[in-house]
Amino acid sequence: MNAEYREKGFFSFLKSLSAPLLEFLFPSRCPACGAYVEKSGDWCPACLANAVRVRRLPIEGEHRKNLEEAWAFGLYHGALRELLIPLKFKRKRSGIPAIRSFLEEAGGALHREDWMPGVVVPVPLFAEKEKERGGNQTEMIFREWMEAQGWVWRRALVRTRATKPQFGLSAPMRALNIKDAFALSEDARLEEIAGKNILLVDDIMTTGATLAECARILRSAGAASVSAWVLASDRA
């Protein structure tokens, strides 16, 4: 029996175990401090409270034309950053339960019962990149939680070409990098956009140039307003 085969056998053996037994064999740990927690995805209360930094982000002049406001749930730093990087760049989904717990805590702090977006639109990846990554990480993070709030999730935008990561580019280069990089998708229904308040979602906001460009497309399709929520940002 070769090693690969043995490994496969071991994983299918693990899969056959019940959740409580797995928890006993491989106890879950807080993603920030490593303390034992009750179940997979849990944080210890102090670390979770520390990671949640719900705040309104500053939007630069030009971007304000189409993007009304932007909110972040946490800092792109520490445990949250460590959870996002493997998901974003290495297709590793093991951090998703902890990210969802974080979202529930932080999203609960921001979400007001009397407020509801007309439709939620994720910032799209270029189709090839999404295929390569096995999905859009923004969708993996937010969709289930937002649909549980009764909100309509619509992939109304597409990325029309591959873009460089915005991180590390100068402001003019960022603008150039994403200019005309988005368009309405075939799934977009104009009646769901025109006259509606759209909530854009993304995993990380750096300068807001990407969000503003997406907002511009949605506004030109008739959206009444576009605001954005991101999981994390390094902006104070």
Name the segment binding Zn ion (CB under 5 A); options: 25-33, 103-111, 159-167, 214-222. Answer: 25-33
Question: Cα(65)–Cα(175) distance, rounded to whole angstroms?
Answer: 14
- The amino acid that residue 84 corresponds to is L
Name the segment binding Zn ion (CB under 5 A); options: 41-49, 55-63, 189-197, 211-219. Answer: 41-49
Nearest CB to Zn ion, comparing residues 30 and 121: 30
Nearest CB to Zn ion, comparing residues 33 and 109: 33
Question: Cα(120)–Cα(108) distance, rounded to whole angstroms?
Answer: 17
Residue 190 engages Zn ion in binding (rule: CB under 5 A)? no
Question: Cα(163)–Cα(137) distance, rounded to whole angstroms?
Answer: 16
Residue 30 engages Zn ion in binding (rule: CB under 5 A)? yes
| Torsion angles phi and psi, residue 19, rounded to 5 | -55, -45
CB 117 within 8 A of CB 150: no
Minimal CA–CA distance to 200: which of 235, 233, 153? 153
Nearest CB to Zn ion, comparing residues 33 and 194: 33
Residue 33 engages Zn ion in binding (rule: CB under 5 A)? yes
Nearest CB to Zn ion, comparing residues 34 and 222: 34
Minimal CA–CA distance to 22: which of 44, 39, 6? 39
Residue 226 engages Zn ion in binding (rule: CB under 5 A)? no
Residue 140 engages Zn ion in binding (rule: CB under 5 A)? no
Minimal CA–CA distance to 129: which of 88, 188, 79? 88
Beta bridge partners of 119: 198
Nearest CB to Zn ion, comparing residues 79 and 214: 79
Residue 52 engages Zn ion in binding (rule: CB under 5 A)? no
Name the segment binding Zn ion (CB under 5 A); options: 46-54, 116-124, 151-159, 184-192. Answer: 46-54
Name the segment binding Zn ion (CB under 5 A); options: 12-20, 31-39, 150-158, 193-201. Answer: 31-39
Residue 219 CB partners (closer than 8 Å, separation 6+)? 66, 226
Nearest CB to Zn ion, comparing residues 52 and 123: 52
CB of 35 to Zn ion, least distance (A): 5
- Count of CB atoms within 10 A of residue 88's CB? 17
Rounded-to-5 percentages of helix, strand, coil across the chain = 45, 20, 40
Residue from 32, 99, 119, 221 in contact with Zn ion (CB under 5 A):
32
Residue 47 engages Zn ion in binding (rule: CB under 5 A)? yes
Interface contacts to Zn ion, rule CB under 5 A: 30, 32-33, 35, 44, 47
